[in-house]
Amino acid sequence: MSETIFGKIVAGELPADSVYEDELCMAIRDKFPTAPHHYLVIPKKPIPKLCDAGPEDQALLGHLMLVANQVAAQQGIGEAFRLVVNNGADAGQSVFHLHVHVIGGRSLSWPPG
């Protein structure tokens, strides 16, 4: 479980600024925010990349989306926010433990990359 920094955070081996936790996931403040509000929703199950998720992960993936919405509301972002999942190094993924970025608090341009 604790092979990545997120695995270590989930296992309680490393500290993080947690804003939400339940039996399936946790949400933390990003240490390197790209906007005034930037959170990471991390499943407790270690899935390296989105493309590594299987049919058995369908409920967990949906739960991550609902938690992202809940975190945005609880943190005062409102209804204007972006969810990002980077899949693989070429897409910008640097920690190979699936996570959802919740980004908001300013006007977000498009395209992002």
pLDDT over threshold 90, residue 112: no
Q: Is residue 38 part of a domain?
A: yes
Q: Is residue 113 part of a domain?
A: no
Q: Is 38 a catalytic residue?
A: no
* pLDDT score, position 2: 60
Q: How many domains does the chain have?
A: 1
Total count of residues recorded for the chain: 113
% of the chain beyond a pLDDT of 70:
97
Nearest residue to 82 via CA among 42, 55, 46, 109: 109
Beta bridge partners of 40: 28, 101
Looking at residue 50, which CATH number applies to its domain?
A: 3.30.428.10
Q: What is the pLDDT of residues 32-74, one digit of tens each?
A: 999 999 999 999 999 999 999 999 999 999 999 999 999 999 9
Which residues constitute the domain of residue 76?
A: 5-104
Structure tokens at 40: 């990471």
Which one of 37, 38, 99, 101 is the catalytic residue? 99
